Structures are given as structure tokens and as C-alpha cells.
Structure 1
Amino acid sequence: MPLILYQRDDCHLCDLALDVLAAARVPEFESVFIDDDAGLEARYGSRVPVLLCSDTGAELEWPFDAGRVGIFLGQATCPPAQ
């Protein structure tokens, strides 16, 4: 699966990001919680939520809306799995 949403437990912004991904009709992505992973915590700690295209390494940091997600998916050449 090429899209990963890095997030935290009990994160209001992460909940908003999930709503945005639903509004953008992103059909499939992996949710990865960084709370118990020291490496992910060091990389994404203050930046979550972050949407990553694992195929290209492109990242979209919060804040983003459905339009920005669509542009990101086009620019990152990382189409969601269908």
C-alpha cells in the first residue's frame, strides 16, 4: 500500500486528517501510530499528521485539505490503491 498516514493516539489534528482523507476519497491507506516507536517519534514527533507516499518518499504535512491531498497525489505520482 503506497500511502501511509503517520499519527498519534488521541490526536485531534489526526482525527481531522482522517476526515480530510475521507473527503478526498482516498480509498486505501495505512495508519501508523508513532507513539511507541522511537525512530518514528524522532522523525515525525511534532509534525503529525503526515501523509507519506512510500513509493516516492514524498510527504504532505498538516495542515492539508482535500484539494491539497489531490494535488499531492498527482505530484507525488502516488495514486491510492484501488
Structure 2
Amino acid sequence: MSTLGCHLCDVAAEILIHHMDPARFVVDVVDIAEDDALMEKYAVRIPVLVDEVSGRELGWPFDQAQLGEFIAGLPADMGE
């Protein structure tokens, strides 16, 4: 979850770019400004990673170690 002009989202994107395997995972950037329900839920929490399968969330702030733990907890067939 993100929105235009979110500098923390840019920082989170850099962490994702450097630490997620693009051959295994697809990251869709969802702009919360385009959906009132998402805006209400995430406006003060972005950036937030959301696993569409399990619903698990990883909210900011997170680092590469926390991202690794989040990825390790994803269902085994994610991205395969």
C-alpha cells in the first residue's frame, strides 16, 4: 500500500528492490488514494506490504531482516 509523494514508500521500495527475488514474487503497488476504504485503513500506516493470500501485513518501519521474516512466513507456493 502506497500513495504518490510518500517518501517513506520510496525508502520501502528500495528495500524491496534490493531484497526480494523478482523471479519468485510480484509486487503490485496499490495507491490508497484511489479507494476510500484503503485510505481509511492505511492513510497513517503506509507503506504497508500485504500478502493477498494470507492477509498478513508488514507495516513501516521495516528493514531487510524484518522483510526476510515476512517473506519466510509466506505460503510456500507464493510466486512459484
User: Structure 1 runs of 4+ off > 4 angstroms?
Assistant: none
More strand by share: 1
Q: Is the 8 A contact 1:50 1:59 kept in 2?
A: yes
Q: TM-score, normalised by structure 1?
A: 0.83
Q: What's the C-alpha RMSD, in Å, of the aligned pairs?
A: 1.7
Aligned twin of 1:58:
56
Matches within 5 A, 1:29-44: 29-44=27-42
**Does the residue aligned with 1:32 lie in a helix, a strand or coil?**
coil
**Does the residue aligned with 1:7 lie in a helix, a strand or coil?**
coil
Q: Is the 8 A contact 1:29 1:80 kept in 2?
A: no
Q: What is the aligned length?
A: 77
Q: Does 1:25 align with 2:20?
A: yes
Q: Which amino acid aligns with 1:52?
A: V
Q: Which runs of 5 or more residues in structure 2 are unaligned?
A: none
Shift of 1:77: 2.7
Aligned twin of 1:72:
70
Aligned twin of 1:3:
none
Distance 1:79 1:33, change over 3 A: farther
Q: Comparing 36-45 with 71-80, which one deviates more in the overlay?
A: 71-80
More helix by share: 2
Q: TM-score, normalised by structure 2?
A: 0.85
Distance 1:37 1:78, change over 3 A: farther
**Does the residue aligned with 1:40 lie in a helix, a strand or coil?**
helix
Q: 2: CA distance between counterparts of 1:70 and 1:22?
A: 13
